[in-house]
Structure 1
Amino acid sequence: MENLRPILFAGLTPRRPALIAGPCSAETEEQVMAAARALAARGVRIFRAGLWKPRTKPGGFEGVGAAGLPWLARAKRETGLRIATEAATAEHVAAACAAGVDLLWIGARTTANPFAVQEIADALRGHDIPVLVKNPVSPDLELWIGALQRIRNAGIRRLGAIHRGFSTADRSLYRNTPQWSIPIELHRRLPELPLFCDPSHIGGRRELIAPLCQQAMDLGFDGLIVEAHCSPDEAWSDRAQQITPEALDEILRRLVIRRTTATTESLDELRREIDECDDELLELLARRMRISRRIGQYKREHSMPVLQTLRYDELLARRAAEAEKLGMDGAFMRAVLQAIHEESVRQQMEVLGE
């Protein structure tokens, strides 16, 4: 999937990321126009609003549908903004393209369904329109890449991705946990793909939007897609995660955009130190695995099972606590130890099978 990075937005200043902003849902023509005018006055160039909004459970506001397309067209005509909306079916694609929508995005639930993505891809054939693909609900990188490939195979070249976090059963600070490692890996594998962050859906609460925007910029994201409503507390959908145009402007003014053109020569010595640490880690891990094999030999000779659950639980708890005392995250240390344990078990199973 080479050469995927188009110039979606020209003329950006070094201190401002590419930005898509607007209300979660188009509610009324007056609401759309008020938001569009307020955002255009603050330098936003692409206006977003959802038209088709099926909710997790029926009974709530599920969008105005195609009736809102003339409202977006008016906003485009009167403010000069480009307009964007979500498409979840082939019919949405056809209606949006006919109405002059400038950009489409594919939502997380749709991305999770290859059948739905393929239907959208087929509907996009012959259209020259930028398309952004949100990550699937579950943390499945291959599913995300597969959706991007389907859209690209339909002839769409102005293609990008949106990171909106992942659903989890665990209680979390966030509505959708960021799991930054997944979009980072997407960027590593598809470096030419523009990558946007959706802090509204990750955070789920407006007070989290500013720090999430800064984290995205620190990680090298290309842009942001933010839900902004003139009266967020009166919004018909997802009111807690929307901010006012004024609040968005303040967040953007405070954003720190790291210099990407700075020389890295001064980092060479530090990087050499990192390389030395990595070499030492590899040596220690290899030594640990050799000990694991010796343990496996002992267990084979004495007919002992490989797994010792109580010791493993005690090890995880103790090491996580020690890591926190050393300034590291306990969950990170648990993940490292779990990976090491899996390899140790594999080594021991190999010895038992000899």
Structure 2
Amino acid sequence: MIVKLKPGSDQKQIQRLMRWIKEQGLEIEYSEGSTYTILGLIGDTATIDANLIQAMEIVESVVRIQDPFKKVNRMFHPADTVIELPGGAKIGGGHFAVMAGPCSVESEEQIIAVAKSVKAAGATILRGGAFKPRTSPYAFQGMGADGIELLLKAKEATGLPIVSEIMDISQLPYFEDIDILQVGARNMQNFTLLKEVGRLNKPVLLKRGLSATYQELLMSAEYIMANGNSRVILCERGIRTFETGTRNTLDITAIPYLKEKTHLPVVVDPSHAAGMHRMVKPLSLASVAAGCDGLLIEVHNDPEHALCDGPQSLKPGSFDELAGQLFKLRALMETVA
């Protein structure tokens, strides 16, 4: 249920209304903008008399919400959420971020070289995997804690904040200095992990599951926010369809749909979507044109010998060229929005 208050409402009356709502066993999601004040009621509102609330002098309107997700719902929070990172990088609310780096950290030389090159091209966040969920138990699983240490060295060398994937709550101690925790597609409905990262004061990049619906993705984000962490970024990374020509199928529709339904930033991973480096450019440009808040792009200085996902990785030179095109398109989109 959404209670929209009239502009200039008396604060004492607002506080009385909020106390009464809480006495009914409900939680309140308070949202205030320059032209609105909204009380989002969370809990079982079936017994709440909407007409009784509507009759109050300070209430402009009361609307019952059928969506099962509340805290992520744009109706509860009309303004875009903006995620701010150390160093000034921002995602959402008109701020566009490019996150780039190798699928997996392999050596100090590799990660620092790639970090410097993507920063020079305009990336504002370094991506890199230390713990890798792989389909095969015999495939390279990442460097683990040693990989985290190398990421932190790259951060020290470039000043770029880091996004890296966490697979299990037991790994949390290693991520204390990582700026954005990535919850991967395979863990999108790992509710124990979602609750745990929800208790942290740290941004979480939540990837859409391989066959997840929009509502399932939003409900997973709700788990994180319901536990206190409002700094969530949604990521469309391609879904499994009947098509076998590409690794996955990038769902461009997810961008405008999610931005209509939620206030959270929406970013896209074009590298995992197609699984082929030659597809990264067109998918990236299409995502920007569709209104995404950022991109997650894999870059490797020697993709032919990469230990993980080499075929979908761009070389630094190709990424530099693409980045220039992305920023030009982004500027153009702002003129026609």
**TM-score, normalized by the shorter chain, greater than 0.5:** yes
2:81 paired residue number: 5
Q: Which amino acid aligns with 2:259?
A: H
User: What is the aligned counterpart of 2:180 among 91, 103, 116?
Assistant: 103
Deviations 1:161-193 (A, max 9, x none): 111010124323x32112322343222111x21
How far the C-alpha of 1:127 sits from its partner, in A, is: 2.4
1:232 paired residue number: 303
Tell me the percent identity: 32
Query: Quick one: distance in 2 between partners of 1:150 and 1:195?
Result: 17
Residues 236 and 251, structure 2, Cα contact 8 Å, conserved in 1: no
Length-normalised TM-score, structure 1: 0.67
Query: Quick one: distance in 2 between partners of 1:69 and 1:260?
Result: 37
1:219 paired residue number: 290
How far the C-alpha of 1:54 sits from its partner, in A, is: 2.5
Q: State yes or no: 1:138 paired with 2:211.
A: yes
Mark the runs of 5 or more structure 2 residues left unpaired by the alignment: 1-71
Query: Quick one: distance in 1 between partners of 2:83 and 2:132?
Result: 29
Deviations 1:117-172 (A, max 9, x none): x2223322542211111111104112111111111112112211111010124323
Query: Quick one: distance in 2 between partners of 1:106 and 1:7?
Result: 16
How far the C-alpha of 1:260 sits from its partner, in A, is: 3.2
Hey, which of these two has a bigger chunk of helix by percent?
1
How far the C-alpha of 1:16 sits from its partner, in A, is: 9.2
Secondary structure of the residue aligned to 2:334 is coil
How far the C-alpha of 1:11 sits from its partner, in A, is: 6.6
Q: Alignment RMSD, CA only?
A: 2.2
Q: Which amino acid aligns with 1:186?
A: L
Deviations 1:174-227 (A, max 9, x none): 32112322343222111x211111010112111111100110011011110100
1:123 paired residue number: 196
Residues 26 and 50, structure 1, Cα contact 8 Å, conserved in 2: yes
Alignment size in residue pairs: 254
User: What is the aligned counterpart of 1:181 among 233, 240, 253?
Assistant: 253
1:149 paired residue number: 222
User: What is the aligned counterpart of 2:159 among 80, 83, 91?
Assistant: 80
* Superposition map of 1:1-354 within 5 A: 1=72, 2-3=76-77, 5-8=81-84, 10=88, 17-97=96-176, 100-111=177-188, 113=189, 116=190, 118-172=191-245, 174-190=246-262, 192-255=263-326, 256-257=329-330, 258-260=332-334, 262=336
Secondary structure of the residue aligned to 2:99 is strand
Runs (4 or more) in structure 1 with deviation over 4 Å come to 9-12
Residues 164 and 178, structure 2, Cα contact 8 Å, conserved in 1: yes
Q: Which amino acid aligns with 2:333?
A: R
1:347 paired residue number: none
Instruction: Provide closer, same or farther for how the CA distance between residues 108 and 76 of structure 1 changes in structure 2, counting only shifts above 3 A.
Output: same
Q: Which of 1 and 2 has greater Rg?
A: 1
Secondary structure of the residue aligned to 1:260 is helix
Instruction: Provide closer, same or farther for how the CA distance between residues 179 and 121 of structure 1 changes in structure 2, counting only shifts above 3 A.
Output: closer
Q: Which amino acid aligns with 1:103?
A: I
Residues 94 and 123, structure 1, Cα contact 8 Å, conserved in 2: no
Residues 211 and 239, structure 2, Cα contact 8 Å, conserved in 1: yes
Query: Quick one: distance in 2 between partners of 1:162 and 1:11?
Result: 17
Mark the runs of 5 or more structure 1 residues left unpaired by the alignment: 264-354
Length-normalised TM-score, structure 2: 0.70
Deviations 1:19-60 (A, max 9, x none): 111000011222112211222232322111111112112211
Instruction: Provide closer, same or farther for how the CA distance between residues 193 and 16 of structure 1 changes in structure 2, counting only shifts above 3 A.
Output: closer
Query: Quick one: distance in 2 between partners of 1:224 and 1:135?
Result: 14
Query: Quick one: distance in 2 between partners of 1:127 and 1:7?
Result: 14
